[in-house]
């Protein structure tokens, strides 16, 4: 295993261990998503047909807002006791830290989705009329789009005074194309009215472009004061 891969794995192990002990991110995300599901189900009283049309937007907006909670936690841990400086003075590659953080957030948000999806199905009486096998693909690509940008912008807003506010201000506008693709693809699969392939390809392209751009720029972000 190369040093970069080894450092990524070590950092991911460490983050998973810290999250397992504190459960800070996962608990906050769960409670937030749970509130969204319950409040929206009481606010609207949609039929199954309407649910299929609005569920895509509802689900992804809930996951986007919940992910922000985890993304803010990611770097907060590195700021306590200035541990990030210990990483910066080490010969470990900056991108290993970034990839470990992205993978960690991907795992946290995926766990959240696994726990919340049954609730969405029950509360909104959902059933896919299109090809259901495409849903996990959309979920994986969509989650990656959220966490790769979110992790990058959370790192960028790390040294700002009000970083909890700064992260959504930076993240949400740039996530609009990905969010649109996620919502449309999910809607297409649930209603079965049109093909989701175009949106899935768009989402995959978005992931590739923003992953490469983030990897290219993260070294500068990490070394900035």
Partner 1 sequence: MPPAVIVTDLVKQFGRFAALRGVSAEFAPGRLYAILGDNGAGKTTLLRALAGLTPPTRGSISMLGTTDLRSVCGQLGYMAHPSLLYDEMSGMENLGYFARLYGINNKGQNEKDQRCGDVIRAVKLDPSLTRPVGQYSQGMRQRMSLARALLNDPKILLLDEPFSNVDVRSAREMVSLLVGLRDAGKTIFVVTHQASLLEGAADEFVWMEFGKIVSRTADLRPPETRLETQ
Q: Which is nearer to partner 1, 91 or 173 (CB)?
A: 91
Phi-psi category of 23—alpha, beta or left, where left has phi over 0 and alpha has psi -120 to 50? left
Q: What CA–CA distance (Å, rounded) separates 184 from 191?
A: 10
Q: Which is nearer to partner 1, 90 or 160 (CB)?
A: 90
3 touching partner 1, by CB under 8 A: yes
14-33: which residues touch partner 1 (CB under 8 A)? 14, 17-18, 21-22
Are the C-beta atoms of 109 and 66 separated by less than 8 Å? yes
CB of 124 to partner 1, least distance (A): 38
Of the ranges 7-15, 103-111, 144-152, 159-167, which one interacts with partner 1 (CB under 8 A)? 7-15
Q: What CA–CA distance (Å, rounded) separates 108 from 142?
A: 14
Are the C-beta atoms of 98 and 151 separated by less than 8 Å? yes
Phi-psi category of 194—alpha, beta or left, where left has phi over 0 and alpha has psi -120 to 50? beta
Are the C-beta atoms of 143 and 207 separated by less than 8 Å? no
161 touching partner 1, by CB under 8 A: no
Per-residue mark of binding to partner 1, 64-103 (x: CB under 8 A) = -------------x--xxxx-xxxxxxxx-----------
CB of 139 to partner 1, least distance (A): 30
Of the ranges 6-14, 36-44, 106-114, 120-128, which one interacts with partner 1 (CB under 8 A)? 6-14
CB of 69 to partner 1, least distance (A): 19
Alpha-carbon separation of residue 155 from 43, 121, 125, 169, 174 (angstroms): 36, 34, 39, 14, 15
Q: What CA–CA distance (Å, rounded) separates 213 from 225?
A: 20
Binding site for partner 1 (CB under 8 A): 3, 6-7, 10-11, 13-14, 17-18, 21-22, 77, 80-83, 85-92, 223, 225
């Amino acid at each position: 295993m190369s040093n970069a891969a080894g450092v990524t794995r070590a950092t991911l192990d460490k983050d998973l261990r810290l999250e397992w002990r504190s459960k800070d991110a996962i608990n906050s995300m769960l409670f937030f998503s749970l509130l969204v599901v319950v409040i929206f189900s009481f606010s609207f009283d949609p039929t199954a047909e309407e649910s299929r049309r609005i569920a895509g937007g509802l689900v992804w907006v809930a996951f986007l807002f919940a992910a922000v909670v985890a993304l803010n936690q990611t770097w907060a841990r590195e700021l306590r006791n200035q541990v990030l400086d210990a990483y910066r003075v080490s010969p470990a590659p900056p991108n290993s830290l970034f990839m470990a953080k992205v993978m960690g957030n991907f795992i946290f948000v995926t766990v959240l989705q696994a726990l919340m999806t049954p609730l969405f199905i029950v509360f909104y009486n959902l059933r896919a009329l299109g090809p259901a096998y495409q849903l996990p693909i959309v979920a994986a690509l969509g989650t990656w789009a959220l966490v790769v940008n979110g992790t990058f912008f959370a790192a960028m807003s790390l040294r700002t005074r009000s970083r909890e506010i700064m992260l959504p201000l930076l993240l949400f506008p740039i996530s609009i194309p990905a969010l649109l693709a996620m919502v449309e693809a999910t809607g297409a699969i649930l209603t079965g009215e049109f093909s989701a392939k175009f949106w899935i390809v768009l989402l995959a392209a978005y992931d590739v472009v923003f992953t490469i751009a983030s990897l290219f720029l993260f070294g500068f972000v990490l070394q900035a004061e």
